Amino acid sequence: MKNLTAIVVDDDVSLGDIFAYALETIGFEVEVIKDSRLAWEKILSRKPDLVTLDLEMPHVTGADLLRQIRADDSLKQVKVMMMTGNGRVAEEMGVEALADIILIKPVTYTQIKDFASRLMQSPKTSVQSS
């Protein structure tokens, strides 16, 4: 895979960094954003191939960002990988149908590689992990 771009949004910057590293090992060029309030502008301007969102973040949640992304026509091609510590919360926040995949923490290196690759291969993927 070449020239793929990703934005990782996670308030735990160290975790965000290692997600980024994992994506870089399979060819993504990755930017990590710690403050979710700054994420929307970045996503909109860069139109990355992949966005990973932490579901529960202060200020702007992963669910908020996901809804914004899905409501914007210019971001139709963006795949979204949602990370959460608790699958039930994802259910409650109503993001199941909107995200391309929901990964329950702890997310493994293998999962990140496999699911990111699969999302880039298929135009419309709907998978779920628990």
Partner 1 sequence: MLTIKPTGRLEDLDRDQLLQTVRRLLAEADALSSRIAAVSEIGIAINRTLDLTAIQRVIAQQAKWLLDFDHCSVCLQKDDVWQINTLFGAQEATPPQLLETENLGPALTRGQPQIVREGSPSPFMAQYASQIILPLVADNIILGTINFGLAKALGYTQDDMRIVYMLALQLSSALRNTRNFEELERTRDALQNRAAELEARNQELDAYSHTIAHDLKSPLNNIMLRSEILASRFSDKLPPQALDFVKGIRDSGVKMNEMIDQLLWLAKLRNVKDTVKPTEIRPTVDNAVMRFMAVLEEKGIKVEISPDMPCVLAHSQWVEEVFANLISNAIKYMGDTCAAPSITIRAVAKGDYVRCEVQDTGIGIAPEDQARLFEMFTRLHTLNVEGLGLGLSIIHRIVTKLNGQVGVESSLGVGSTFWFTLPAAPIPIIEKIGQDEHVG
Choosing from 12, 35, 41, 92, the residue that interacts with partner 1 (CB under 8 A) is 12
Which listed residue (4, 18, 26, 98) binds partner 1 by CB under 8 A?
18
Does the protein bind partner 1 through residue 75 (CB under 8 A)?
Answer: no
Gap between the Cα atoms of 52 and 32, Å rounded: 10
Among 29, 31, 72, 114, binds partner 1 (CB under 8 A): 114
How wide is the angle at C-alpha 60 spanned by C-alphas 53 and 6, nearest 5°? 30
DSSP 1-52: --SEEEEEE-SSHHHHHHHHHHHHTTTEEEEEES-GGGHHHHHHHH--SEEE
CB of 120 to partner 1, least distance (A): 16
Which residue reads 């710690």 in tokens?
A: 34
Nearer to partner 1, 58 or 71 (CB): 58
Of 79, 93, 96, 97, nearest to 23 by C-alpha is 79
Q: What gap in Å lies between CA 62 and CA 82, rounded to an integer?
A: 7
Judged by CB under 8 A, how many residues of this single chain contact partner 1? 29
Binding residue (CB under 8 A) for partner 1 from 76, 106, 123, 124: 106
Residues that bind partner 1 (CB under 8 A): 10, 12, 14-15, 18-19, 21-22, 25, 54, 56, 85-86, 88-89, 103, 105-111, 114-115, 127-130
